[in-house]
Chain A
Amino acid sequence: MIFELNKLLKSKKVSAKELAKKYIEAIKREDRRLNSYVYLSEEFALKCAEVVDSKLRNGEDISILEGLPFTLKDNISTEGLPTSCCSKILRGYVPIYDAFVWKILKNENSVLLGKTNMDEFAMGSTCETSCFGGAKNPHNVNYVAGGSSGGVASAVAAGLAVYGLGSDTGGSIRQPASFCGTVGLKPTYGAVSRYGLVAFASSLDQIGPITTTVEDASLVFDEISLRDEQDCTCLGAKEKTFSHIKDNISGIKIGVAKEFLNLADEDVKKSVSLVINAYEKMGAEVEYISLPSCEYALMVYYIVACAEASSNLGRYDGIRYGSRVSSYTNFHDMICKTRSEGFGKEVKRRILLGTYVLSCGYYDAYYKKAHMVRSKIINEFNDAFKCFDVILTPTTPTTAFECGYSAKDPVSNYKADICTVPVNIAGLPAVSVPCGFDCKGLPIGFQIIGQKFHESKILNVANKFEEYTNACYVKKVTGGYPYDI
């Protein structure tokens, strides 16, 4: 879609302002039922679009993302525009600096439509822990958009943004992308700068795109994956991916992780089997493999992520930014009341758990042990990649949950992330691609996992499936732009 819209702008068949207005109209019309946006930056978007139109009028060339309306998850800092992480504690907070990824896109005159809904501080799989209420699935509003980047996935699937950037700590890009029938890329840890991303779990967080096609994901990734000295882990991408997405995949070795497939629902299993058949017909060599340590990835994840979150969220004290209670007796009372009233239930639960596993007497049993198991999982992936180019799994064991699902016990919620979490634990890149629909008409996605910094390979393999199936699983949701024109 990005190429087509870029061509339309360059040929002046549509102006950037007209394009932005179409999207803004669609958001105002459709988002009342979807709740994907939490902040609409209409004035700012039209100003950016005007700059692009002025360049085009002067005969200047524009870059690939220039003038294209897009959205950012509400945990990516935007100077002068609210960034709340969908938490009461940050309601009204306006950052004083831009995230590195937003700075890149801003310099390219990308048109930011607004900030999108998410689970509070990116902690959740449904988007329902948002203080604004959850984003709905455009395929059926009685189902969740997924999480935590549910707002981005919902908006992109409904045609309320050309693309969006989310963040993925344990599946928060890929899972909502799968639930909403969009493409979600979680880059290698260190490929995209985290500067300006509100920290949840710093050794796992990574920013990436949610798009309608693999080609678009490749184009966006190539723009944002630059080395950044402000993030001491950010090397940037090793190469541009777009020139490789059409490479021949005949003879490529695909390992299908059977543990993940066995956990999936029947509808998901059937769709993933069709994906495997398609790859075999394309000349790939497919074999079933076992990754037994991945069974422990969820436990490692909840120990490590909560430990890091408990430290990262220590900064919310009501003094320097964010909300503060109006009545308190002393300094300690003010901080306790502010945090207790400002954080939601899931965030508090994770801060408590993280503090517990880091506390004296439990550190070795939980935190240290979790890191050792993490090493074991990394070694297991490394061994698998000695024999296989990529690993294929379902993105999620089920399709989207019914709204209200997250109110049940937390461990069941956590188990839904089983296919995506190991990827973050090992710092690998992975992409979720739509591959079918269940009996309720809800989208199903599969996941391609690659070696570190091999985004070119996974996007190549993913794109070949999309080409082979003529992108027939990208179901158009009526209402948004440009699907209804």
Chain B
Amino acid sequence: MTREELEDIALLCKLNISEDEMNDILSDMEDIISFANKISAVDVKDCGFKVEDGLQNIYRKDEVVASFPQDYILKNAKTVQDGFFYLKNGESGGGERLDI
């Protein structure tokens, strides 16, 4: 894995990697990937892309039932306004409302 690849992956993960962490993480990732690469040698003919054979899905009746009250859903949010999750813009001090 190259440094550029790691930076791209970190962006997809929404993680910042500092200069101090970069070399350690690169070296760990290389170790883990070369370890994982061993599966490339496994013969998988006759093996499908299936998992958990013998299991079945559990379905419930398609009935409308009450969900959580809105104030419950908002209980753990840091900032809330008018029943919405609310995100302040840190620099300007203004508001960036996220209707989700």
Contacts and interface: CB of A to CB of B under 8 A. Distances in A.
B28 A349 contact: yes
14 contacts: A93-B76, A227-B58, A229-B60, A233-B58, A234-B58, A235-B55, A235-B56, A296-B42, A320-B73, A320-B85, A321-B77, A339-B13, A356-B1, A373-B44
B36 A366 contact: yes
A366 B33 CA distance: 9
Contacts of A286: none
Contacts of A107: none
A374 B14 contact: no
Contacts of B25: 348-349, 352
A250 B56 CA distance: 33
Given A231-B58, A235-B56, A375-B51, A96 B76 contact: yes
Interface string B51-88: 11111111110000000100011011110000001010
A310 interface: yes
Contact of B13 (A227, A310, A378): A310
Contacts of A233: 52, 55, 57-58
Contact of A232 (B1, B42, B49, B58): B58
A370 B28 CA distance: 20
Nearest to B68: A96
Given A235-B58, A369-B44, 8 more contacts: A96-B75, A190-B52, A232-B58, A235-B56, A299-B35, A374-B51, A375-B44, A375-B47
Contacts of A334: 87, 90
A189 B32 contact: no
B36 A348 contact: no
B68 A379 contact: no
Given A93-B76, A233-B58, A352-B6, A370 B14 contact: no
A340 B16 contact: yes
A359 B47 contact: no
A343 interface: yes
A300 B75 contact: no
Nearest to B91: A329
A352 B29 contact: yes
B80 to A, nearest CB: 10
Given A319-B98, A321-B77, A329-B90, A303 B13 contact: no
A332 interface: yes
B44 A410 contact: no
Contacts of A414: 32, 35
A353 B26 CA distance: 11
Contact of B33 (A203, A335, A356): A356
A21 interface: no
A443 to B, nearest CB: 29
At the interface, is chain A mostly helix, strand, loop or mixed?
helix
Kindly list the 5 A-B residue pairs having the minimum CB-CB distance in the complex, ordered from nearest. A321-B76, A229-B60, A372-B44, A375-B47, A340-B16
A410 B28 contact: yes
Interface string A43-71: 00000000000000000000000000000
B35 to A, nearest CB: 5
Contacts of A229: 58-60
How extensive is the interface on chain A, given as a class?
Answer: 35 or more
A355 interface: yes
Given A365-B40, A411-B35, A371 B49 contact: yes
A134 interface: no
A480 interface: no
Interface in A320-338: 320-322, 324, 326-337
B52 to A, nearest CB: 5
A393 B54 CA distance: 24
Contacts of A317: 14
Given A232-B59, A296-B39, A330-B89, A356 B14 contact: no
B36 to A, nearest CB: 5
A372 B32 contact: no
B52 A335 contact: no
B90 A327 contact: yes
A409 interface: yes
Contact of B47 (A302, A376, A411): A376
B52 A427 contact: yes
A94 B58 contact: no
Nearest to A303: B36
A258 interface: no
Given A94-B75, A299-B36, A319-B85, A452 B14 contact: no
Contacts of A230: 60
B76 A322 contact: yes
B81 to A, nearest CB: 13
Contacts of B44: 369, 372-373, 375-376
Nearest to A326: B90
Contacts of A320: 73, 76-77, 85
B9 A371 contact: no
B3 to A, nearest CB: 13
Interface string B4-15: 011001101111
B49 A368 contact: yes
Given A189-B52, A203-B52, A302 B58 contact: no
Interface in A352-392: 352-353, 355-357, 359, 365-366, 368-376, 378-379, 382
A217 interface: no
A462 interface: no
